[in-house]
Amino acid sequence: MADILPRLWYPLSAAAATTGIVLLLRDFMHGERCPSKATMEGKTVIITGANNGIGKETAKELSKRGGRVIMACRNMDKCQGARDQLVQESGNQNVHCQQVDLASFESVRKFASRINKSEAKVDVLINNAGVMRCPHWKTADGNEWQFQVNYLSHFLLTNLILDKLKAAKQGRIINTSSIAHSQGQINFEDINSTVKYEDTDAYMQSKLALVLFTLELSKRLEGTGVTANTVYPGVTKTNIGQHKLSKMESAVTKPFMWFALRDPARAAQTGVYLSVAPEVADKTGKYWKDTVAITPAAQGRDEDIAKKLWDLSLKMTGLSEDVSSKDQSKEEKASS
Ligand SMILES: NC(=O)c1ccc[n+]([C@@H]2O[C@H](COP(=O)([O-])OP(=O)(O)OC[C@H]3O[C@@H](n4cnc5c(N)ncnc54)[C@H](OP(=O)(O)O)[C@@H]3O)[C@@H](O)[C@H]2O)c1
């Protein structure tokens, strides 16, 4: 035994050093942690797609910080399961499930109407839900699935509950986009990919639309105290690849994914930071990665395209220009 130990010393030290380097590198790649310890006490946050992935981790962190958390999800069984887990882990009972299917404007309008009735104010809206590279599906409203679920329905929801964000002291809107926006184009000639559908192009278009939405919305919100920002969470281990990766492919890529892809809890950190930190309360119109504002791609900074997209989105969602007051009351009458 005494002979073996000196011989094992070098290989064991090398293995320990390699493991340490791998873990440090992985930690570095997985992004920054939220530097703010601010609480969410007394604040209400709505998170779309909060039953899974990045949205669920964001909901967990904000419920641990004492917020009133509204999980806006399409499947109530999944939502309830996630909610029970969050309540158990955070000890916060003020976590609620509300049904919304972003593939249906009717569902978004009903959800917004319920929020406008039940909430005196909404401090934070996190437009997180998303779908990536699905087949060429059409929504109930006849739109390309990714464009409506990822972008148009969040455009509609935000506008319908804008008064509640204005009623908060410092309302914050956070749109979840992706680095994919930098390869995207808004195809105004064929916005619903009717002529030609390419799943990646449609995803990139929807994520660019969210960046442009932030740009135009932040200008329109000047002087209201409400901010609008975009978050890029980083490449993360979630269900977002479900339409493209088979079980076999997922199993094969698992070790790579463990190393290179972020844990959802880490990916949630920038959204959490923008939700709570006092030092970013007046930051608006920006694109954030790893808790730092960075410059989005040129097409995400094009103010003319942002305005053109806004006008088209009003038409496609059936909203009028003075959305926050007129349409809200119309919706409330319709659903009462
Ligand atoms: N993961 C990444 O690498 C990555 C990178 C950049 C950006 N993002 C963005 O991060 C956001 C969160 O994605 P994730 O990675 O956490 O993926 P995820 O685990 O698949 O979560 C997506 C969430 O969106 C919900 N959702 C999908 N379709 C919906 C609909 N029609 N109505 C309401 N909710 C719907 C899902 O609900 P169900 O469980 O019912 O399907 C789920 O809760 C997305 O916007 C995504 O584009 C992710």
Q: Distance between CA atoms of 215 and 309, rounded to whole angstroms?
A: 11
Pocket of ligand 1 contains residue 268 by CB under 6 Å: no
Mean pLDDT of 124-130: 98
Q: CA-CA distance, 19 to 13, in Å (whole number)?
A: 10
Least confident piece of the model among 83-92, 169-178, 193-202, 258-267: 258-267
Q: Domain extents for the chain?
A: 36-330
Question: What ligand 1 atom has the least distance to the C-alpha of 264?
Answer: 16
Any ligand 1 atom below 6 A from CB of 130: yes
CA 242 to chain centre: 17
Do 128 and 184 form a contact (C-beta atoms < 8 A)? no
Tell me the C-alpha distance between 236 and 252, whole Å. 17
CATH code, 36-330: 3.40.50.720
> Which among 10, 151, 197, 203 is annotated as catalytic?
203
The pLDDT of residue 323 is: 56
**Mean pLDDT, to the nearest integer, of 257-277?**
91
Q: Whose CA is nearest to atom 36 of ligand 1?
A: 49
pLDDT at residue 8, as a whole number: 82
Q: What is the mean pLDDT of residues 142-165?
A: 98
Going from the C-alpha of 247 to that of each of 112, 134, 262, the distances in angstroms are 37, 16, 19
Q: Which atom of ligand 1 is nearest to the CA of 75?
A: 40
Atom of ligand 1 nearest to the CA of 49: 43
**Given a cut of 60, is residue 304 above it in pLDDT?**
yes
Averaged pLDDT score across all residues of the chain: 91
pLDDT (0 to 100) of residue 335:
46
- Supply 335's token pair: 């659903």
d(C-alpha 123, C-alpha 112), whole Å:
15
Q: Indicate whether residue 146 lines ligand 1 (CB < 6 A).
A: no
Pairing outcome for strands 68-73 and 287-289: unpaired
Task: Give the model's confidence band at 2: pLDDT under 50 very low, under 70 low, under 90 confident, else very high.
Answer: low
State the pLDDT at residue 257: 73
What percentage of the chain carries pLDDT values higher than 90? 76
Is the CB of residue 129 below 6 angstroms from any atom belonging to ligand 1? Answer: yes
Confidence of residue 274 (pLDDT cuts 50, 70, 90): very high
Distance 258 CA to ligand 1 centre (A): 19
Assess whether pLDDT exceeds 90 at residue 259: no
User: What is the structure's pLDDT at 170?
Assistant: 95
Mean pLDDT for 15-21 is 77
Phi, psi of 289 (to 5 degrees): -140, 135
pLDDT above 70 for 96? yes
Residues 101, 271: Cα–Cα separation, whole Å: 22
pLDDT at 6 over 80: no
What is the distance in A from the centroid of ligand 1 to the CA of 129?
A: 4
Query: What is the reported pLDDT for 258?
Result: 67
Range with the poorest average pLDDT among 35-44, 249-258, 291-300: 249-258
pLDDT score, position 326: 47
Examine the pLDDT at 198 and tell me if it is beyond 60. Answer: yes
**Is the predicted pLDDT of residue 149 greater than 80, yes or no?**
yes
DSSP assignment of 264-297, as one string?
HHHHTHHHHHHHH-GGGTT--S-EEETTEEEPPP
| pLDDT, mean of residues 8-15 | 82
Q: Is the CB of 54 under 6 A from ligand 1?
A: yes
Nearest CA to ligand 1 atom 42: 49
Q: What is the pLDDT of residues 217-253, one digit of tens each?
A: 999 999 999 999 999 999 999 988 888 766 666 676 7
Task: Report whether pLDDT(51) > 60.
Answer: yes
For a ligand 1 pocket test, name from 29, 46, 48, 54 the mutation site with the most ligand atoms within 8 angstroms of its C-beta.
54
**Residue where the block lists tokens 């904000």:** 62
pLDDT, tens digit, 9 for 90 and up, residues 161-170: 999 999 998 9
> Measuring CA to CA, which residue among 241, 240, 296, 290 is closest to residue 267?
290
pLDDT at 325: 44
Confidence of residue 57 (pLDDT cuts 50, 70, 90): very high
- pLDDT, residue 12, reads 84
CB neighbour class for 182 (10 Å; exposed up to 12, middle 13-18, buried from 19): middle
pLDDT digits (tens, 9 = 90+) for 59-78: 999 999 999 999 999 999 99
What would the pLDDT profile of 202-219 be if each residue is shown by its tens digit?
Answer: 999 999 999 999 999 999
Q: Is 203 a catalytic residue?
A: yes
Dihedral class, residue 225 (left if φ above 0, else alpha if ψ from -120 to 50, else beta): left
- Kindly give the residue spans of alpha helices, DSSP state H, lying in 30-152: 53-64, 76-90, 105-118, 145-146
Fill in the DSSP letter of residue 52.
S
